[in-house]
Amino acid sequence: MPVDPYEYQRAEAHIEESEGDILVPQDWVVDGWDTEDENDPDETDDFEPEERKEGQAEKLERLHRQRQKFLIGRVGFYASSPGEISHAYALSSTDRVGGAAKYLATITQHQAYAVREDGEPIDTTDPEAAARSIAREFGNYASSARAEAHGLLELRAAIASREDLSKDAPIIEVMPLKDWKVQDWYRRSLTDLLRYNEAIALAQGTGEDRSGDKYSSSEPDVQQRLDVLISALTVGQALQQITERHPQQVERFSFWVQNLEKAYQHATGRLKAVLAKELSRVGRGPEEQ
């Protein structure tokens, strides 16, 4: 199934918008899905003196660092946003009976009794709404991964076409910096390499947590970091990073498709319809099997 050139843009935009609307906090693990273990790096000492405890931002960064390291080792990819980190970690941290279907069902159950931070109950007339929204996120992660994988191959082909350049040549000799910015596929693929480099830095403890950033050319800070990356990369480095990153996006696509399929097998009603739609959107719908 051909990749829609606007698929990446739509998926990324929806991920950015929807993750802020989900009623389930991104660092919350559903009851029955928490992974308390004395060897689990996420576990903290509840008896640590208050003055020594981490601030919320530092704690979240440490949590994302540990979970990204876990994900690259367990499922073979770095997640691309705080919401994806949370969902992928919950689905892959332990072998749970029921898998994604149980995960979404437990979210629905939790929503029926959820309250806001001020103690007021959340409208529970449709407790399944959060599960349907998260199912759409799963579809957007898969859609984004497929588009990213395709774009990286396009980028590799563009670089490889310059047989006159050595591996030590700056990548801007393949195409001037100003041209990278106006070529949608290449800019997005280089933006994915930026995200990849920053995820590695986070996991290794050499960089800050950028997972919540909107990796968009409309964001001045992201554009500045992208300019630095493009200006610093050599042809050889770019090809090596594409070789590393492309299989991750393939694994990411497979992971989310498999979880959509598992959830679909046990879902009913409106949730099943949403899951069917998301599977169809990535070429894996029931009618296409």
- Annotated domain spans of the chain: 7-284
pLDDT-derived band of residue 28, with 50, 70 and 90 as boundaries? very low
Pairwise pLDDT comparison (278 vs 41), residue with the higher score? 278
pTM: 0.79
**Cα–Cα distance between 161 and 175 in angstroms, integer?**
11
DSSP bridge pairs for 170: 234
User: What is the tens place of the pLDDT at every residue in 80-109?
Assistant: 999 999 999 999 976 666 689 999 999 988
What is the reported pLDDT for 175?
Answer: 76
Q: Classify the C-alpha dihedral 229-147-145-135 as positive or negative.
A: positive
State the distance between the two ends of the chain, measured CA to CA, in whole angstroms. 13
What is the reported pLDDT for 119?
Answer: 67
User: What residues contact 283, with CB distance under 8 A and at least 6 apart?
Assistant: 1
**Cα–Cα distance between 174 and 234 in angstroms, integer?**
10
What is the reported pLDDT for 29?
Answer: 42
CA 253 to the chain's CA centroid: 10
Phi, psi angles (nearest 5°) of residue 121: -70, 145
Top-ranked range on mean pLDDT: pick from 35-49, 149-163, 238-252: 238-252
Name the residue with tokens 């208050």: 50
Does 13 have pLDDT greater than 70?
no
What is the reported pLDDT for 256?
Answer: 97
Q: Tell me which residue of 7, 57, 4, 5 sits closest to 27, measured CA to CA.
A: 57
What is the reported pLDDT for 249?
Answer: 97
Residue 115: helix, strand or coil by DSSP? strand
Are the CB atoms for 137 and 87 separated by under 8 Å?
A: yes
User: What is the tens place of the pLDDT at every residue in 207-257?
Assistant: 999 999 988 877 889 889 988 998 899 999 999 999 999 999 999 999 999
Residue 125: helix, strand or coil by DSSP? coil
pLDDT-derived band of residue 116, with 50, 70 and 90 as boundaries? low
